[in-house]
Amino acid sequence: MATAREEDSAAAIQKGGVAVPPATALAYLDPTYWDERFSREEHYEWFKGYSHFRHLILHHINPNSSVLELGCGNSHLSQEMYRDGITDITCTDLSPVAVHNMRNTILSKGIKVMVADMLDLPFGTETFDVVIEKGSMDVLFVDSGDPWNPRPEAVSKVMSMLQGVHRVLKPEGIFISISFSQPHFRRPLFEAPELTWSMEYETFGDGFHYFFYTLKKGRRVSSEKASVERFELPSISLLQDELEGEDYIFRTNIDDLENDDEEAAVPLFNVAFESQLASLQAVRCNNSNNMKGKLQ
């Protein structure tokens, strides 16, 4: 008999090659969900496509850099970087299906692709100049609880990932994390005592702000102090392409958390996932009906 998580994963995959968000965000933690999704979905870009942050990539990565991508999925990130002259790339994903598909897609490009768990990286110490992830770390926060005080289990997974990234980076290496999570939530993790990198960030995007974090190994200044930044985000007034994607599911608005009710201080996954999912499905349904009308 299938478990509830397996049923959620199965329900999340729509026939016809198009994946829709799962009934519950917990499905994102299930490897089966991703295997089934990647078996049907050819391409999806979390947190915008390459053109939106290409200028940031080229500013921080030079053509001679050895690059490790975590959680490549079916993104075109590695292929776009390759076109820009960054050719020493290793892509990893936990899903064998994603890796198989990626190998078939980029076979002629010489990009290395392998199955690997980002919580237990199978690479030697100081192997890469750059490690990059786009949305992969956000998944670890799906069941994290209060974003100001995440559950120990979630923190443990995130720290395993960060410690592994720090280990495989060369001295002066750079970790690039592209995320929806705001700096006041990321800083306590990025600036853990055992990690020696500095933290900077830039933003990109239209209706939403996406964060492009750069952490440079060995660059932390001893006088750096963690601060609580306040970054103004727009209310949910989404552009069409954002409504048609899943990115906004990862949005946590700090204004929604500023109250004395501790139980109210939970991530968007637990507060508004169902209502936002309904909005996304309504938009897709409306688009489908409009298309049918044009064909009739």
Two structure tokens written together for 137: 């770390």
Which amino acid is residue 295, in one-letter code?
L
Query: What digits encode the pLDDT tens for the residues 159-168?
Result: 999 999 999 9
CA 113 to centroid of chain Cα atoms: 18
Burial (0-12, 13-18, 19+ Cβ within 10 Å), 235: exposed
Lowest mean per-residue pLDDT among 97-111, 160-174, 221-235: 221-235
Residue 131 has pLDDT above 60, yes or no: yes
Question: How many residues are listed for the chain in this entry?
Answer: 296
- CA 220, 91, 46, 277 dihedral sign is negative
| Percent of the chain surpassing pLDDT 90 | 55
Q: What is the pTM of this model?
A: 0.74
Q: Which helix (H) or strand (E) holds 186?
A: helix 183-190
Tell whether the torsion through CA atoms of 227, 248, 245 and 16 is positive or negative.
Answer: positive
pLDDT at 99: 96
For residue 246, the model assigns a pLDDT of 61
Strands (E), the chain: 66-70, 88-93, 112-115, 128-134, 169-179, 198-204, 210-216
What gap in Å lies between CA 204 and CA 169, rounded to an integer?
25
Q: In DSSP terms, which residues pair with 174 in a beta bridge?
A: 130, 216
Strands 112-115 and 88-93: parallel
Q: Who's near 83: CB < 8 A, 6+ residues apart?
A: none
169-179 vs 128-134, strand pairing mode: parallel
Range 275-281 average pLDDT: 44
